[in-house]
Chains A and B, each alone.
Chain A
Amino acid sequence: MGKAQRQRQAAQVVREQLAAEQRRKRTLIAVGVAVAVLVVGGAIGYGIYQGNKESKVTEPIAATVNYGFQTGNGPVTVDLYVDFMCPACKAFEQTYEQQLQQAAQAGQITLIKHPVAILNRMSQGTDYSTRAGASSVCAANDGKFTEFSTALFAAQPQENTSGLTNGELTDIGKGVGLGDTFANCTNAQTYAAWIDKGTEKASEDGLSGTPYVKINGESVELKDFATALDAAIGAAGGASADPSASTS
């Protein structure tokens, strides 16, 4: 092997070593920057998360069943999950509410209505679903959950608007005979965290859209609801829940 060739080889080895050294250095820099971004981003994210997290869930004064409010005490259990921003819930309410209330009063069904908040993205950042739900808990404390929720659906705002203000919610409450305790409770949003917790629970229980209905713990398609309810009441030994059918 000639001297010139050996020198060329040596120079080649040195060049490779220098290149390897540079790669190591640059890898370290890149990893360092990536880790720094991760740590800073993580810290900011955690801060936001802690800031947003509702620190304390206040339990309602009113009696609750699995984050819902009970009417009647019949053998057939009807669980109804509603979001006050949801037009289909309003339609369901207008179609069935009267019949359900009658069935509950006649001792045929136990109606449990769960206010949930899955449509907060539909109210331009004002979280109307949560606010309306929290306000309904305030009404429940004063024994007027049913009246208030019916009035809320009647005054339902359009989706993708900012919804009703807390002041407007208070006015609706006054319309059904609720007073200052209710107004303070609505303005303070005392039960916002409870509504969000209940929504999480509902999701665990199978909710993937509203209105969501269960009869005796089994979820029921909306189009089959009337038939399924009649069947369940019939099976429980009661007369049909449909008042027009029982007038004979």
Chain B
Amino acid sequence: MVMTENVGSTPPVDDPGWRRALPWLGVACRLVLAGVWITAGALKLPDLTESVRAVQAYKLLPTGLASVVGYGLPPLEIAVGLLLLAGLFTRYAAVVSGLLQVAFIIGISSAWARGMSIDCGCFGNGGELAAGQSPNYFWEILRDVGLLLASAILVLRPRTPLSVDRWIRGA
């Protein structure tokens, strides 16, 4: 058995080993996203006025709406992070996660396009850059695109091992 497998030069298309690894890719996506969301939310929570300033720094939203987003975003980030960590309602949490990343990518791109000099405020910080510090728009967008991909994978394949969703289905 083992020998015949070793003899074959090309593995079959649906290699069971590769297939078995796929769900664990989903677990990895969940854990990475959960880590990022919980960290981002937790760093913003202690100073919500700073979070509001970070939103205002983009100069995209009217003052009232910027306050709502500034106050609301950190709890939402933590909630999405916890759901992904537990693997509960994975698909819905991943949809929200992806939409947030899209919003962030739009925000950062627009700040970049307008030639603004701000900190993205992604992990706390009121959007102000320290003296002599230049913006990191490219890497911030690249990171958010990566996180968007991880979210998309979970939207398409939300069923992952070690999840509450799986326990609910009784598997």
Which residues from chain A sit less than 8 Å from chain B, CB to CB? 19, 22-23, 26-27, 30, 34, 37-38, 41-42, 45, 49, 86-88, 91, 118-121, 159, 196, 199-200, 203-204, 206-210
Contacts and interface: CB of A to CB of B under 8 A. Distances in A.
Contact of B131 (A19, A27, A88, A120): A88
27 contacts: A19-B170, A22-B170, A23-B168, A23-B170, A26-B168, A30-B88, A30-B168, A34-B83, A34-B88, A38-B79, A118-B50, A118-B53, A119-B128, A120-B50, A196-B49, A199-B49, A199-B53, A200-B53, A204-B56, A204-B63, A206-B59, A208-B116, A208-B118, A209-B117, A209-B118, A209-B129, A209-B131
A120 to B, nearest CB: 7
A121 B75 CA distance: 20
B170 A208 contact: no
List 3 A-B pairs, minimum CB-CB distance, nearest first.
A88-B131, A203-B53, A26-B168
Interface string B120-140: 000011111111100000000
**Residues of B in contact with A, size category:** 35 or more
Given A87-B131, A118-B128, A45 B45 contact: yes
B150 interface: no
Contact of A203 (B89, B126, B130, B132): B126
A200 B49 contact: yes
A86 B50 CA distance: 16
Interface of B: 45, 47-50, 52-53, 56-57, 59, 63, 75, 78-79, 82-83, 88-89, 116-118, 124-132, 164, 167-170
Q: Interface SS of chain A: helix, strand, loop or mixed?
A: helix
Contacts of A49: 48
